């Protein structure tokens, strides 16, 4: 099948982890597309419970949900998200990537998502990567996403469009977007962003939790100021 034939331009596939960013993107996609699919991955992560959380959120959002086992990703390199013997970096190093970086993760996820999308006649792929809060991960940068988008279209003779709603916004604005979409409480209480596998507000001290909490506090202060002003 030519990738341009029988493609549904009203459908979108969300690369979905069940965390703050991808959940916000899921509801962003629901507002813009008639049909939304969610695709999660088991890649050898220490806290695979996030997949169960993702499934629960997808059911609540009434979107089709699938899981792909790509455990080979966790066996390819050494990082603190898949290797229990490695202590997690608490700060982004001055040079290089933090050891929470899983090499090739977004490359594999988006490539597999594109194949899945092709087989389901979907043109639009949504991912929650952000260059503003990219935590030193090179595969969250806009240049990578644009390059991969071109490569996937060439590889499958298609017209995929990779959407990155969070690319140029920080965590405070991501919380604001969740609030605008009417899912702030769901995102705060029912998602898992924590590197230590704690639901909701998380452990409070891992890099992901600190970034998430700082963004939430900033947003709530901004919202309170606006409410007082009005």
Relative to beta strand 35-42, strand 122-126 is: unpaired
Asked if residue 206 belongs to a domain, the reply is no
The pLDDT profile of the chain, 230 residues, written as one tens digit per residue, is 344 555 667 999 999 999 999 999 999 999 999 999 999 999 878 777 889 999 999 999 999 999 999 888 777 777 666 667 777 666 666 566 777 788 889 999 999 999 999 999 999 999 999 998 767 789 999 999 999 999 999 999 989 999 999 999 999 999 999 999 999 999 999 999 988 889 999 998 888 899 999 999 999 999 999 888 87
Nearest to 167 by CA among 126, 128, 110, 124: 128
Q: Answer yes or no: is 62 within a domain.
A: yes
Domain total for the chain? 1
> What's residue 2's pLDDT?
42
Domain that holds residue 145: 8-170
Which residues face 41 on adjacent strands? 68
- To the nearest 10 degrees (0 to 180), the angle between helices 171-180 and 207-229 is 60
Q: What are the CA-CA distances from residue 133 to residues 34, 136, 146 (Å)?
A: 29, 8, 18
Query: What pLDDT does 5 receive?
Result: 55
DSSP secondary structure letters along 67-88: EEE-THHHHHS--TTT-TTSPP
Residue 189 domain flag: no
The answer to whether residue 3 is domain-embedded is: no
CB 171 within 8 A of CB 217: no
Residue 55 belongs to some domain of the structure: yes
DSSP 41-72: EESS-TTTHHHHHHHHHHHHHT-EEEEEE-TH
Query: Does the residue 89 lie in any domain?
Result: yes
Measure the CA angle with vertex 200, ends 20 and 180; round to 5°: 45
Return the DSSP state at 90: S
Residue 113 lies in a domain: yes
CATH no. for residue 50? 3.40.50.620
19 part of a folded domain = yes
User: Torsions phi, psi of 125, nearest 5?
Assistant: -120, 135
Strands 122-126 and 161-163: parallel
Alpha helices in 77-206 (DSSP H): 105-119, 142-156, 171-180, 184-190
Residues 142-179 as b/e (b if ≥16 CB within 10 A, e otherwise) read eebbeebbeebbeebebebebbbbbbebbbbbbbbbbb
Cα 230 to Cα 45, 173, 182, 220, 221: the distances in Å are 45, 20, 20, 15, 14
CA distance 23 to 212: 14
Asked whether the beta carbons of 202 and 47 are under 8 A apart, the reply is: no
Model confidence, pTM: 0.90
Of 68, 52, 57, residue with least CA distance to 110? 68
């Amino acid at each position: 099948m030519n990738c341009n034939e029988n493609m549904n331009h009203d459908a979108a596939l969300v690369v979905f982890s069940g965390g703050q960013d991808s959940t916000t993107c899921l509801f962003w996609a629901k507002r813009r597309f008639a049909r939304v699919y969610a695709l999660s991955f088991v890649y050898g992560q220490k806290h695979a419970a996030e997949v169960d959380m993702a499934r629960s959120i997808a059911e609540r959002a009434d979107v089709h949900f699938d899981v792909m086992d790509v455990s080979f990703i966790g066996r390819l390199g050494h990082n603190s998200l898949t290797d229990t013997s490695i202590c997690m970096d608490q700060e982004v190093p001055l040079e290089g990537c933090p050891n929470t970086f899983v090499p090739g993760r977004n490359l594999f996820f988006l490539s597999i998502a594109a194949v899945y999308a092709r087989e389901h006649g979907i043109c639009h792929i949504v991912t929650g990567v952000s260059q503003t809060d990219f935590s030193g991960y090179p595969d969250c940068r806009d240049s990578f996403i644009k390059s991969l988008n071109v490569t996937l279209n060439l590889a499958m003779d298609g017209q995929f469009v990779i959407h990155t709603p969070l690319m140029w916004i920080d965590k405070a604005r991501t919380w604001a977007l969740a609030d605008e979409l009417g899912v702030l409480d769901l995102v705060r209480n029912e998602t898992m962003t924590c590197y230590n596998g704690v639901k909701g507000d998380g452990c409070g001290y891992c890099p992901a939790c600190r970034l998430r909490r700082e963004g939430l506090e900033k947003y709530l202060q901004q919202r309170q100021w606006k409410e007082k002003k009005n």
